């Protein structure tokens, strides 16, 4: 059964849509030697347990990824004697307490041979153990605050929120309060006093979008839902579609950008595309032109991966920065005429939409408990709608 909650466009590609490759990146290398070995997911984490996240970038709280959980694979060596799972993990993983291991096991964030296991499970040679852990920043504390939330959908397991632009998702350097997750913590505890960061890590947050990007986020309301959604994000099975207004007239109506995304080599607060794969993490973005306005274009972007600033960095890398993206050079006139009336028109558009024109429009996944296909589609926010309509009117006059 498929459940669809939408108000405009369906998710996915139209019939006959075939992305064309724009960049070809080198394949990621993984280390899979025998014994106890972290087989790190290509780009979504740096090991287990929680590691301090970078606080350099604009409003993010973790390195290279929008996914807020990290994964580590452990393969039990041939010479390993039988041992309880919780004792094995506590002994083998640095800086991890048995209590934290127990919490992860109870929350089904530890899988043995792709199945949840109890703490007293006796590990044996050849067992493949996968551990998920939330990536928390140093000194971070989530204090519940009463903040208005645009709740798009809710049931016993999940919460879908339509985030407005300008709202930081979670506390990080420079934004310790007033974030979306502060509001979620208040909302959840208002309905269930037993919920805390101990029982529900990071109050169910499993991914994020940039401060000045609007759109849909899914949060888990149980630790089991956290584990399930985290795995779907790692498996890249989550359906995510964005709409963006970009500078320029794209030559191809559809395409695929394959280029690693990582920190800029000199400006550490910025991210850069590395099509040769020499830095950063693998990143794949499919795009399709929805509407052309001469000097700007409305595009749909479908993510296979979820790197920090991925769409913004990828579109800049092919010469089409997002409209009014101050960080990546889209906040000035890049295409058009030299006439003062045109400059005034663009400035007015910048005023109407004072942030990068990017909206997380569609979110699809398998429900953690019912196993139903869930599909959510949100309308473009008013600032983007107004700017798009102004460009439509401008184009008609040309």
Catalytic residues: 210
CA-to-CA distance for 131 and 40, rounded, in angstroms? 11
User: In terms of DSSP H, where are the helices of 171-300?
Assistant: 180-191, 223-234
Largest Cα–Cα distance of the chain, in whole Å?
78
Query: What phi, psi does 201 have (nearest 5°)?
Result: -50, 135
- The answer to whether the CB of 68 falls within 8 A of the CB of 205 is yes
CA-to-CA distance for 273 and 315, rounded, in angstroms? 10
Cβ partners under 8 Å of residue 85, min gap 6: 105, 110, 112, 117, 118, 119, 120, 121, 122, 123, 129
- The answer to whether the CB of 233 falls within 8 A of the CB of 206 is yes
Query: What phi, psi does 384 have (nearest 5°)?
Result: -70, -40
Q: Which of 225, 210, 239 is nearest to 302 (CA)?
A: 239
CA-to-CA distance for 35 and 226, rounded, in angstroms? 28
Instruction: Record the tokens describing residue 274, joined without a space.
Output: 């590395």
Instruction: Record the tokens describing residue 194, joined without a space.
Output: 């037993």
- The answer to whether the CB of 294 falls within 8 A of the CB of 395 is yes
- The answer to whether the CB of 112 falls within 8 A of the CB of 104 is no
CA-to-CA distance for 20 and 226, rounded, in angstroms? 35
CA-to-CA distance for 112 and 129, rounded, in angstroms? 5
Neighbours of 395 (CB within 10 A): 14
- The answer to whether the CB of 258 falls within 8 A of the CB of 21 is yes
Q: How many residues does the chain have?
A: 398
């Amino acid at each position: 059964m498929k459940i669809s909650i939408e108000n405009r466009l369906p998710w996915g590609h139209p019939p006959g849509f075939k992305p064309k490759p724009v960049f070809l990146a080198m394949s990621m290398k993984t280390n899979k030697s025998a014994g106890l070995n972290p087989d790190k997911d290509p780009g979504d984490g740096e090991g287990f347990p929680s590691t301090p996240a970078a606080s350099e970038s604009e409003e993010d709280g973790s390195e290279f990824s929008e996914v807020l959980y990290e994964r580590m694979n452990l393969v039990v060596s041939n010479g390993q004697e039988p041992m309880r799972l919780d004792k094995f993990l506590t002994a083998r993983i640095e800086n991890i307490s048995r209590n934290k291991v127990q919490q992860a096991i109870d929350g089904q964030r530890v899988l043995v041979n792709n199945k949840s296991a109890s703490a007293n499970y006796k590990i044996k040679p050849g067992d493949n153990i996968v551990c998920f852990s939330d990536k928390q920043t140093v000194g971070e504390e989530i204090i519940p605050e009463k903040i208005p939330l645009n709740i798009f959908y809710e049931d016993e397991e999940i919460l879908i929120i339509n985030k407005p632009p300008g709202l930081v998702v979670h506390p990080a350097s420079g934004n310790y309060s007033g974030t979306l997750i502060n509001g979620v913590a208040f909302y959840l505890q208002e309905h269930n006093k037993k919920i805390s960061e101990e029982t529900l890590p990071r109050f169910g947050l499993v991914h994020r979008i940039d401060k000045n990007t609007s759109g849909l986020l899914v949060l888990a309301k149980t630790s089991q839902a956290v584990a399930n959604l985290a795995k779907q994000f790692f498996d890249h099975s989550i359906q995510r579609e964005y709409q963006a207004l970009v500078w320029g007239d794209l030559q191809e109506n559809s395409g695929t950008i394959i280029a690693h995304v990582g920190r800029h080599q000199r400006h550490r607060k910025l991210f850069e595309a590395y099509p040769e794969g020499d830095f950063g993490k693998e990143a794949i973005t499919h795009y399709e032109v929805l509407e052309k306005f001469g000097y700007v274009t409305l595009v749909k972007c479908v993510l296979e991966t979820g790197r920090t600033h991925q769409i913004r960095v990828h579109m800049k890398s092919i010469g089409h920065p997002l409209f009014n993206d101050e960080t990546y050079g889209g906040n000035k006139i890049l295409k058009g005429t030299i006439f003062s009336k045109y400059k005034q028109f663009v400035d007015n558009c910048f005023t109407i939409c004072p942030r990068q024109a990017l909206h997380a429009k569609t979110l699809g996944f398998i429900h953690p408990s019912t196993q139903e296909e869930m599909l959510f589609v949100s309308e473009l926010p008013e600032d983007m709608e107004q700017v798009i309509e102004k460009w439509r009117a401008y184009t008609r006059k040309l």
